[in-house]
Homo-oligomer: A and B are copies of this chain.
């Protein structure tokens, strides 16, 4: 302490403000994961008592979490009949990919204008790591890095709404895309597309990046169409 009685510390550094957790937030992430991983299958009813007991929480925060997910579109509410995991048709998925494509095309254009060199280097790092996972055959990690790269490119635009909408669609599609295991030749093609993407980004060629992202997502529908 100094003579004023206040704690004397460095302005920067330290762990920062402590992270306060709220139960309903935790439940949201938990349920989201359970839905994406398929533990809670599409169409299944979310019984509050049962589910709450399983998670070890009371109904109140659980219900709040369910409402949140309903607004997010992962869960469907039916009056007096509770919530169920939303089931997406093939057309739904196709439509989502079509919107996602448009958003990423916009992101591609903007990212090349607004991304700093350091940020682009980070995307490149993610890409290199992803290629490494591809070579080793680590599918799960590859998949995660793949998503991270797309998210990172969108974030370069510094457009909060764009990021949010993108995140929302990405979340809904996660489960389907995770199942959609393409064969080795399609996988190779996807990696090649990513290679092009990074090159365009580093060259700051927005039009080209936009085009590649569009093609990439058009192909994505080909890759998953059978599993829905």
Q: Which of A17-25, A175-183, A185-193 contacts B (4 or more CB under 8 A)?
A: A17-25
Answer whether A20 and B80 are a contact pair too, CB < 8 Å, given A99-B103, A99-B162, A106-B99.
Answer: yes
Interface on chain A toward B: helix, strand, loop, or mixed SS?
helix
A161 and B63 within 8 A (CB): no
B24 and A67 within 8 A (CB): yes
Chain A's interface size range is 35 or more
A96 at the interface (CB under 8 A from B): yes
Q: Which residues of B lie under 8 Å from residue A70 when comparing CB positions?
A: 68, 71
Answer whether A99 and B67 are a contact pair too, CB < 8 Å, given A79-B20, A165-B165.
Answer: no
Answer whether A79 and B21 are a contact pair too, CB < 8 Å, given A64-B64, A98-B162, A106-B99.
Answer: yes
Q: Which residues of B lie under 8 Å from residue A1 when comparing CB positions?
A: none
A92 at the interface (CB under 8 A from B): yes
Binding site for B on A (CB under 8 A): 20-22, 24-25, 60, 63-65, 67-73, 77, 79-80, 92, 95-96, 98-99, 102-103, 105-106, 159-162, 164-165, 168-169
